[in-house]
Amino acid sequence: MDAQVPPQFDNKAASPSSGVTSTLHRLQTTLDNKRGISKPESDQQYGDGYLWDIEDPVERRFCVQWLTHSIEWATKRSILAGDSDEWTWVMDTAATQLSELCGKGASGKVKRSVQVWGPKAEELAGVVVNEPSFVEADVGCQTWGSATLMARRISRHDIPVRQFSACLELGSGTGLAGMAIARELQRTGGTVTMTDYLASLLDVLTASSRDNGVDDGTAKVRLLDWFEVAGRSVGAGVAVPKANYSDVTAQREATAGARQLDVASLQHGFDLVVAADVLYELEHAKVIPILADYFLATSGTAAPRFVVTTPLRATHTKEVSTFEAEMAKIGSLRLAGKDDATLADDLSEWAERVGAAETEAVQQTLGADASDTWTYRTYIYERC
């Protein structure tokens, strides 16, 4: 039977009460389920704990207060009653949950599952992504809408990837799009190389490869410095962004053991190159076209493709226009397609087309999509 009120804190307790630990267990299950991660243990075994309704704004605020008090209580009792693994567990668990409820900026590492569908409206197992903390990866800590849109279109075959054998993802971040590609190429024997610069992101990409079962050689994780590649292009004239890039340079030491992409041997080594939400610096808008031209194959069974999805933010119009202008200068790459869509409009249009509009999973996802009001632009370039 569910507890009717949140458990109180006994200031003379020698160990945490079952009501507190059960409530923390139940809250963890709620948070995991919200991120699409189902635990094998049943929530029913924690029936004496209080079940917080974190979807209710008032209840959520009370939950935050209760977690704050639980940390204070466990800290004091561990000092007075004696330090133990039980008190440490309460402090650590409550602190992690409090961070997650307070938003991504305060959150630590989390694992989430993102819903995708197959080409005929069949629900597929969610793509699992591991997200590092904001402190570890700054903007890279979050799975952005561009990656969500790209992953959906890949899984639905609106962006066909099975015709390619070697894919490169630039700026993989948490790796949602790359994982979707890996699951497709696993069926054909192809490979996808996911790249980023920060050690924390390389770590979560490796973890997500395991969680999605594509660490069998289908998905590779490599360190790539975009501006090293730009330096190989005579007259590229692309400067390293000072504001952000210098901030992560100190973290390079943490990637000393990471396997770097063999840039020299992989010129024109990929028949598909993709990137999602990488145009947030003007210098990035200049260097991405250089990378695409450098890594994309010059020929293949299917015309080699470069696919980019980016949000049309009012604050980044110059980055988008600069990217388009720089891509237009590459004579061997032609713009084969371009479209603009919100997450909700894209999913709604597809669901109507394949008869999945009324399914529960689609309706739930459309509800979540409503909070993302960005319009995303997808470019498809082909080698000619």
Is residue 46 located within the same domain as residue 161? no
Chain centroid to CA 227 = 23
Per-residue pLDDT of the chain (384 residues; tens, 9 = 90+): 567 788 888 888 889 999 999 999 999 999 888 888 876 555 456 777 899 988 877 788 789 889 988 988 998 888 887 778 899 999 999 988 888 887 655 556 778 889 999 998 888 889 999 987 655 545 555 788 999 999 999 999 999 999 999 999 999 999 999 999 999 999 999 999 999 988 888 999 999 999 999 999 999 999 998 988 876 654 455 665 543 443 455 555 555 556 899 999 999 999 999 999 999 888 899 999 999 999 999 998 899 999 999 999 888 899 999 999 999 999 999 999 999 999 999 999 999 999 999 999 899 899 989 888 899 999 999 999
How far apart (Å, rounded) are the C-alpha atoms in residues 26 and 116?
27
Question: Is residue 120 in some structural domain?
Answer: yes
Is residue 239 located within the same domain as residue 333? yes
How far apart (Å, rounded) are the C-alpha atoms in residues 273 and 363?
32
Residue that terminates a domain, selected from 84, 102, 120: 102
Residue that terminates a domain, selected from 102, 133, 163: 102
Closest Cα to residue 249, out of 233, 230, 225, 229? 225
Is residue 64 located within the same domain as residue 115? no
Whichever domain contains 191, its CATH number is: 3.40.50.150
Is residue 81 located within the same domain as residue 207? no
Question: Is residue 326 in some structural domain?
Answer: yes
User: Which pLDDT score is estimated for 38?
Assistant: 74
Distances (CA, A) of 362 to 261, 276, 340, 350: 38, 23, 20, 10
Question: Is residue 4 in some structural domain?
Answer: no
Residue that terminates a domain, selected from 52, 82, 102: 102
User: Which pLDDT score is estimated for 329?
Assistant: 96
Closest Cα to residue 173, out of 195, 149, 151? 195
Question: Is residue 13 in some structural domain?
Answer: no
Is residue 284 located within the same domain as residue 344? yes
Is residue 40 located within the same domain as residue 85? yes
Is residue 146 located within the same domain as residue 294? yes
Is residue 96 located within the same domain as residue 135? no
Is residue 71 located within the same domain as residue 138? no
Give the start-end residues of each E strand in the chain: 110-114, 127-131, 166-170, 191-196, 219-223, 272-276, 305-311, 333-341, 376-383
Is residue 269 located within the same domain as residue 193? yes
Record the pTM. Answer: 0.74
User: Which pLDDT score is estimated for 108?
Assistant: 63
User: Which pLDDT score is estimated for 244?
Assistant: 45
Question: Is residue 12 in some structural domain?
Answer: no
Q: Which residues constitute the domain of residue 44?
A: 18-102
Question: Is residue 6 in some structural domain?
Answer: no
User: Which pLDDT score is estimated for 227?
Assistant: 85
Question: Is residue 3 in some structural domain?
Answer: no
How many domains is the chain built from?
2
How far apart (Å, rounded) are the C-alpha atoms in residues 22 and 348?
40
Is residue 57 located within the same domain as residue 203? no
Is residue 131 located within the same domain as residue 173? yes
Whether 372 contacts 142, CB under 8 Å = no
